[in-house]
Amino acid sequence: MFGKGMSRPIALVTGGGRGIGAATSKRLAEDGYDILLTYNTSSKPAEMVVDDIRRTGADALAVKVDCNDDAEVALLGIHPWMHREIDALVLNHGRYERVAAEDMTIAGLRTTMKTNFEGAVAVWKAVQPHLTASARIVVVGSQLGTRGSPHGADYSASKAALAMWARSLAQAVGPQGKRVNILAPGFVDTAILAGDSKQKRAEREQLVPLKRVATPEDMAGTISFLIGPDSSYITGAIIHVNGGLYLP
C-alpha cells in the first residue's frame, strides 16, 4: 500500500494480542503499517504477534492497557509512539460473559459497559490529539448489538451503545477528513466460542448460510478494507460480516 522510502504509518489496535485483534494486527502490518497493539491480561500472545510482525520487516510493539482503567488509558495517550501520529485506530477490545438476560446484575452490566463502551470512548479521547487529519477508525461491534441476545444482554447493550456512538462520531469528524465505521461480526472462531462442544459448533455452522464459522482473518480482511483507500466514501456504516447468519 505504501511505497518504498516512505515512512510507515501507524495503526493502533486495542485487544491486538488475540483473535480478531491479532489477525488484524498482522493484516495491517502486511498492508504497510507499523503496529501498536494493546493487551490486558496476558502478555505472551501479544508478544508472539509482535514477533510475527517483526519477522515480516514491519515494526510492532505491545503495551499493557486495561481499557477499564482510566490511568492506563491515559498513559497510552502519552506513549512515545504518539509523536509519530496514528493513521488507523481499531477499537477491538471487549468483555463477554454468558449470562441469561434475567440473571444479569447491575454490577455486571456496569463492568461490561465500562469496558466495551466507555473504555473504547476513553481510548478514542486519549488518542484523538494524535490522529492524522485523514485517520480511519474501525469499531468492532457485534451482530448482537443490533439483534440482542437472551444470554448476553449486557454485551448486546454495550455493543449497541458503541455502534451509535461511532455513527455519531462519524458525522462529527467527517468534515475533518476522518472516517469511522463499525464491523459487526457473527460467529467467529475466537475465545468466545472456545467452550463449544463439537455438537454446538456443528449447530452453529448449520445456522450460517455459508455453513462455517468465520475465522479472525475474515474479520481482519474487512477491517483492512475499511481502513484502506477502496472504502474512501464509506463512513458511519455498520458492516455485518456473518456469512448470512443475520440480515438486518
pLDDT at 130: 98
Confidence at residue 7, expressed as pLDDT on a 0 to 100 scale: 80
pLDDT of residue 116: 95
Look up the CATH number of the domain holding residue 139.
3.40.50.720
Per-residue pLDDT tens for 66-81?
999 999 999 999 999 9
Residue 2 is predicted with a pLDDT of 52
Mean pLDDT of 153-179: 97
- Per residue, what are the HEC states of 77-126? HCCHHHHHCEEEEEECCCCCCCECHHHCCHHHHHHHHHHHHHHHHHHHHH
Instruction: Find residue 36's DSSP bridge partners.
Output: 12, 61
For position 191, what pLDDT does the model report?
Answer: 81
Domain count, the chain: 1
Q: Is 195 part of a structural domain of the chain?
A: no
Please, what is the Cα angle at 145 between 117 and 46, to 5 degrees? 55
Q: Which amino acid is at 238?
A: I
**Distance between CA atoms of residues 201 and 194, nearest Å:** 10
**Would 211 be classed as within a structural domain?**
no
- Assess if residue 111 is contained within a domain: yes
Residue 98 binned pLDDT confidence (cut-offs 50, 70, 90): confident
- Residue 224: all three cell numbers together: 483492512
- Answer whether residue 226 is part of any domain: yes
- pLDDT band of residue 4 (cuts 50, 70, 90) is very low
Answer yes or no: is 201 within a domain: no
How many CB atoms within 10 Å of residue 134? 11
Buried b (16+ CB within 10 A) or exposed e, 75-96: ebeebebbeeebbbbbbbbbbb
Residue 3 lies in a domain: no
- Supply the pLDDT for residue 6: 54
Active site residues: 155
Print the domain residue range for 84. 10-189+217-241
Mean pLDDT, the chain, whole residue set: 94
Residue 96 — pLDDT band, cuts 50, 70, 90? Answer: confident
Lowest model confidence (mean pLDDT) among 7-16, 72-81, 97-106, 206-215: 97-106
Average pLDDT over residues 60-71: 95
Task: Match 495491517 to its residue by C-alpha cell.
Answer: 28
Q: Tell me the C-alpha distance between 168 and 187, whole Å.
A: 26
pLDDT (tens digit per residue) in 215-231: 999 999 999 999 999 99
Q: What is the rounded distance in angstroms from the CA atom of residue 167 to the CA atom of residue 190?
A: 26
107, part of any domain: yes
The answer as to whether 1 is a domain residue is: no
pLDDT of residue 125: 97
Whether pLDDT at 31 is above 50? yes
145: left (phi over 0), alpha (psi -120 to 50) or beta: alpha
